[in-house]
Structure 1
């Protein structure tokens, strides 16, 4: 890289971004990197500084606008936003948000072993946060357990990663059929719209409040049972199409007998095939709060038995959990792949892999789970190891990752007909990419590698004369 040019994915400590000074990087994805930073004058608490990897990325403007509209105790506060201009001339948007020291909801569930009553209270807070988002004219579009942080000091939950969000009046940034999001959390109506688009429709499906509610239901189901809703496995393997009439999702209490009836009923309601029967976030928040208050003593039973918790914590060789108890060790390779930045690969691998492959790949090692810190977040990865809550590891990550919206600087571009100059290259959003002989867990977004259709791809660049000044840096 030339003088005056810094790689926004690898900013050294001390780098000045607007009013903020970088301390350390905590996560990265295809669109941005998150740093822990402090005010340059040293008189404020740390912030989560999110810096765009691509100059002029409009997603950051949209995310800043949406965050500025939402005021809720379970949504991180937007502190600052602006544009950082490098000496070389490139201008990168950035956001500074309230720093949350905690763990993902997934890791909290594994370590905390919450009761049904505790989960009811957590879901009530998240539903209330969604209600505030929708009241501001926005939708989150990527609700899942990896986009929820539980603060270590008081176990307050926070809905994070509004980078996939949208609000009334915002220009669309993603081509059809889908906006950014994580496939296993998409609503039945979203899948049906892609399979059976109307002739009049030329735009991507627009998720609304009901889609956020459905995603919250999937999140809750995963937290309670450790599994995806079984009804989702009934989708057509070829077209990801919900069959109608849709099979009923097995109630959480049938999968995990420790789940109380009130929690099971409300989670099942959020997963209703018909969006109008799911209830609004406000209605759900009130119902969840009421259930947490009125549920009987069975709601105070931990959702994971002590013996199952111990066996799952022992590692990949531990004996499986007893029947009808959530198997917290059932990790699949798409979890690792998602941490490396691909919602597309995550969804395809989840829906198309055979059960035998899932079984073979289920027991990812502890080191592989630690690598992504439990934050799959459409490509988010906070590189900190999970552990007991008293150790307060940081899992802050707010990067919405999808395929690059445009070619990266210097990349080979497609011609007017959308084709690449070589048959070995494939076109993706105007840029040319080549399939790499690299495992998904080694598909490093820090080198601008992406996961596409279950494989790792790297950008191609026009041929250049050999350099005489030594080896070049990895492509970015």
Structure 2
């Protein structure tokens, strides 16, 4: 064990230049992201501090240069850049950017269930960001859902410019393809990759049309839940056994609520020929116009509620308790009763029957075992507030680092007292709880652990769920034994 500080082990209170770390947010392949604030200025706004894992990483220099050239509400504002020296004397670059209060785009779709109009508005914002970037002779080269954050108010922000470049920028690697994700590559990029696979010194020169195609894949996956087949499969031309490339289904064929207007924008972004995609400016204007003129059907949520286990409302029941030689006293406690429902909107009738039956059985049983206390005055059971000795952590953000996945959380509200049993969010993952990154559908990362939101239950959350940011969550546990180290994973 060593107490040497590295980018992976910075603690709350550590200084990186003039910035003081307030909390860990996420980790990617090349960097770690922290929530920070200017040291000595506790009232200053929070910032996202991205620290390189690799000493002297040139990607950070390139990202800082690219961000300094682009100014748009859908691009994080760059505040500072510098160098941090570890205890071992190794120098790591860092960036300080605007704090984004959003979640990754696919998680936003699962959590907020947007309408077609809202998706059109998000698409327009991102297309405008790409237009400003392309006008500055820059390219993002890794547009995908994990690199798009959407705030609760609907503002979409394109993040992680570490794979980006600009006209005339010196190359960092000698790889054939840019460091991006294969599912989002354009047909022309896939064809080039296949034709030059064994040629040394050849590089694919990405174009603005590649960014637009990747945006189209991102929106297609958002509204359908699946990736489209690749835009090209040149190997099939040489190998008849492979068969033809599967046809891409229209988005409205997979989700009837997409509508023609949104489908046209997606299909334009994913056109086979780069010239058919046009400029980002044209896509942005088309999406804006569609969002403004589309009919009321575009205001219906895109997805049906998923089947899930819900926590029924807590109900007061008579509870017998024994104290010394006194007769059993009967108090009132909030007892949550679990119910299963097909969907949230159709579950109330069945849940009401189950709650009523459980209430009657519980009251009859307790009345039977405590005959001497039937006339006792009711008392209210009140949860004791656990004393953790530390203040709850501040709000977090998501993935300003490369691939880091962490959901934004806000400062916890004080525990509710009275007739409520409430569990306070722990300061670190629970023993056996799954650690970040949280990759399951609907999972949320809070304080380094994986949690599932109780979407049909609002605070007070009872004695089985934990309250956080005015919502209820329960922990997700590993199926096998996990390490007990508190080091971010």
User: CA–CA distance in 2 between the matches of 1:78 and 1:313?
Assistant: 43
Greater shift, 64-73 or 135-144, is seen at: 135-144
Instruction: Please report how far the alpha carbon of residue 314 of structure 1 lies from its aligned counterpart in structure 2 after TM superposition.
Output: 7.0
* Contact in 1 for aligned 2:33/2:51 (Cα 8 Å): yes
Contact 1:177–1:194 (Cα < 8 Å) also in 2:
yes
1:311 and 2:310 are equivalent in the alignment: no
* 1:176 to 1:258, Cα distance in 2 relative to 1, 3 A: same
RMSD, aligned α-carbons: 4.1
Aligned length: 350
Q: Which residue of 1 aligns with 2:11?
A: 12
Matches within 5 A, 1:35-114: 35-42=34-41, 43-114=43-114
Please, what TM-score do these two structures have when normalized by structure 1?
0.64
Gaps of 5+ in 1: 321-337, 342-365, 394-438, 450-476
Question: 1:140 deviation in Å?
Answer: 0.7
Match of 1:371 in 2: 438
- CA distance change for structure 1 residues 88 and 169 in 2, over 3 Å: closer, same or farther? same
| Structure 2 residues without counterparts, runs of 5 or longer | 312-339, 344-401, 406-432, 459-467, 471-478
| Alpha-carbon distance in structure 2 between the residues aligned to 1:113 and 1:375 | 12
Alpha-carbon shift at residue 25 of structure 1 (Å): 1.2
Residue 202 of structure 2 corresponds to residue 203 of structure 1? yes
Change (3 A) 1:375 1:60: farther
SS state of the match for residue 173, structure 1? coil
SS at match of 1:292: helix
Given that 1:70 and 1:136 are in contact with CA atoms closer than 8 Å, whether structure 2 keeps it comes out as yes
Matched residues in 2 for 1:166 and 1:244: separation? 37
Q: Quote the Cα distance in structure 1 between the aligned partners of 2:452 and 2:238.
A: 36
TM-score normalised according to structure 2 size: 0.63
Q: Distance in 2 between matches of 1:231 and 1:383?
A: 34
Whether the aligned pair in 2 keeps the contact of 1:174 and 1:180 (CA below 8 Å) is no
* Counterpart contact for 1:249–1:268, Cα < 8 Å: no
Aligned to 2:382: none
Are residues 208 and 447 of structure 1, via their aligned partners in 2, closer, same or farther at CA, if it must alter by over 3 Å?
A: farther
The residue that corresponds to 1:254 in the other structure is: 253
Tell me the CA shift for residue 370 of structure 1. 7.5
Structure 1 counterpart of 2:126: 126
| Contact 2:48–2:97 under 8 Å retained in 1 | yes
Aligned to 1:190: 189
Output one character per residue of 1:388-415: Cα deviation in whole Å (capped at 9) or x when no partner: 699669xxxxxxxxxxxxxxxxxxxxxx
Q: How far off is 1:102 after superposition?
A: 2.2
Q: Which residue of 1 aligns with 2:274?
A: 275
Contact 1:221 1:252 in 2 (8 A): yes
Residues in 2 aligned to 1:181 and 1:89: alpha-carbon distance in whole angstroms: 32
Q: Distance in 1 between matches of 2:188 and 2:244?
A: 13
Q: Does 2:292 correspond to 1:296?
A: no
* SS of residue in 1 equivalent to 2:26: strand
Q: Residues 24 and 35 of structure 2 are in contact (CA less than 8 Å); yes or no, is this contact kept in structure 1?
A: yes
The Cα shift of 1:206 comes to: 2.1
Note the alpha carbon deviations across 1:77-122, whole angstroms, 9 max, x for none. Answer: 0010011123532111000001112211111111111111111001
- Kept in 2: contact 1:28–1:382 (CA 8 A): no
* 8 Å CA contact retained: 2:81, 2:94: yes
Q: Runs (4+) of structure 1 moved beyond 3 Å?
A: 198-201, 230-240, 243-248, 312-315, 317-320, 338-341, 366-370, 372-376, 381-393, 446-449
1:280 Cα deviation from its structure 2 partner = 1.1
Shift of the 185–311 alpha-carbon distance from structure 1 to 2, 3 Å rule, reads same
Q: For residues 421-460 of structure 1, what are the structure 2 equivalents within 5 Å? A: none
CA offsets, 1:2-36, max 9 Å, x none? 78x42111111111111101111111123111111
Bigger radius of gyration among the two: 2
- SS class of match (2:7): coil
**Cα distance in structure 2, aligned partners of 1:289 and 1:382:** 38
Structure 1 residues 44, 104: closer, same or farther in 2, change over 3 A? same
Summarize deviations over 1:347-405 as a string: whole Å, max 9, x none. xxxxxxxxxxxxxxxxxxx96997248899xxxx9867574699669xxxxxxxxxxxx
SS at match of 1:273: coil
Contact 1:107 1:386 in 2 (8 A): no
* Closer, same or farther: CA 63–106 of 1 in aligned 2, 3 Å: same
Q: Distance in 2 between matches of 1:14 and 1:311?
A: 43
